[in-house]
Amino acid sequence: MRVQLSTFDRSLLSGEQGEAAAFAMRLLVRFAEAVGAARFVDIEAAHIDGCLYLGEVSLDFVEHLLRLGGRVRVPTTLNVGSVDLIHPELFHGSDEVGRGGARLMKAHEELGCVPTFTCAPYQTIFRPRFGAQIAWAESNAIVFANSVLGARTNRYGDFIDLCCALTGRAPYYGLHVGENRRARTLVEVESLPEEWAEAGLACVAVGHAIGRRCGDRVPAITGLPPSTSEDDLKALGAVAASAGAVALFHAVGLTPEAPTVDAAFQGRAPEEVIRLAATDLRETVHKLSTVPDGTPLTAVSLGTPHFSLAEFERLMPLIDGARPMIDVYVNTHRAVLEELQRRGWDERLSAAGITLVIDTCTYVTAVMRDLSGTVMTNSGKWAYYAPGNIGVDVAFGSLADCVASARAGKVVRL
């Protein structure tokens, strides 16, 4: 299909807006033809996942754009990089990744990107409005923007996300189009385990279930706990996008495009109904652990996606008391770090034996000191990816379980 081009699109292609923009637009036109987009749409913002160093090609692409005089045309945030630029001493990887990763992060700044270095840009000042057309990469950020904020983006990958940022344009297809945001599958949560005191576990279990069973179809969920918070929805979307290809979900009564079931389905009938009972949710959470209770731990890792300030407010009362027997890491971003410093919480966390990791995440780069054993987490996404990414066994549990286990040096349940 040939893509319809606006006058501005043609000026981008002709080089009137600069050589880098022309290069980016040529790639976008080929991409739009491949996905069957009929035209392009203006975007209000971009979020770039390509600042994580995956080899020389990552750096070559950005350096080429810099040589062409590239500059982003819309507010553009950056996902995690390969190193913590604030705490470089935490990096234990190769010199190539350390130097290349730091240069790649800096090169994106030179293109005009904002150095947020977070997978949760929606919890900074760069929070898209309802209905905004954007071009975001990073799976959890995409599903959160679409589902919880009602912004509109497809699952953009490395390089294409940056091309959108340099042109301010995105192919108009997929979830940019209102009709395609209609739910297809109804997920009914019929009952919750009585012993689960917090909504977070339920949301991780539901997210993992829809990721495995819905693929890339849009689900509408009913029956989530009334106490479900924004961070709980963040965790749901993150594990759904990891375990499957979910880029948008509707939580009826909780997310903006689903005040009712009928609204989520745009007046049409579900193509499939999935029912989840307490036993299903217990089994799903149980399977996120690859080891039994009582297994010795080498570390605990929290904050994937990045820990919010609200999550730190839940953590702080739990750290008083005995120090952990093992390493404890919390991944978060610069904006939250500034608030922690203002409150003096960064010093309390350090005194309690907790290491803050900024700009990056423990399962994408070499930060964790000891990977010889099992690591515990309260993140469904971390539990899903870490065995493959960094070769560790994983125990999954609630935030309170993780803190208690860190003190015991082994997996315990409260």
pLDDT tens for 204-236 read 999 999 999 998 899 999 999 989 999 999 999
Query: Comparing C-alpha atoms, which of 28, 352, 46, 96 is closest to residue 344?
Result: 352
Question: Residue 247's Cα: distance from chain center in Å?
Answer: 11
Q: Rounded to two decimals, what is the model's pTM?
A: 0.96
Q: What angle do CA 403, 385, 209 make, to 5 degrees?
A: 90
| Section 346-352 average pLDDT | 97
| Section 40-57 average pLDDT | 96
282 has a pLDDT exceeding 70: yes
> For the chain, what percent of residues have pLDDT higher than 90?
97
pLDDT tens for 118-166 read 999 999 999 999 999 999 999 999 999 999 999 999 999 999 999 999 9
CATH of domain 7-178: 3.30.499.10
How many Cβ atoms sit within 10 Å of the Cβ of residue 87? 15
Question: Residue 362's Cα: distance from chain center in Å?
Answer: 14
**Alpha-carbon gap, residue 245 to 157, rounded angstroms:** 13
Length of the chain: 414
Domain segments of the chain: what residues? Answer: 7-178, 182-286, 289-411
The pLDDT assigned to 197 comes to 78
> For the chain, what percent of residues have pLDDT higher than 70?
100
Domain 182-286 has CATH 3.40.1060: yes
Domain 289-411 has CATH 3.30.499.10: yes
- Cβ-proximal residues to 89 (8 Å cutoff; 6+ apart), any chain: none
The pLDDT assigned to 1 comes to 66
pLDDT tens for 310-341 read 999 999 999 998 999 999 999 999 999 999 99
| Section 188-215 average pLDDT | 93
Q: Do the two domains 7-178 and 289-411 of this chain adopt the same fold?
A: yes
The pLDDT assigned to 2 comes to 85
The pLDDT assigned to 198 comes to 81
| Section 223-250 average pLDDT | 95
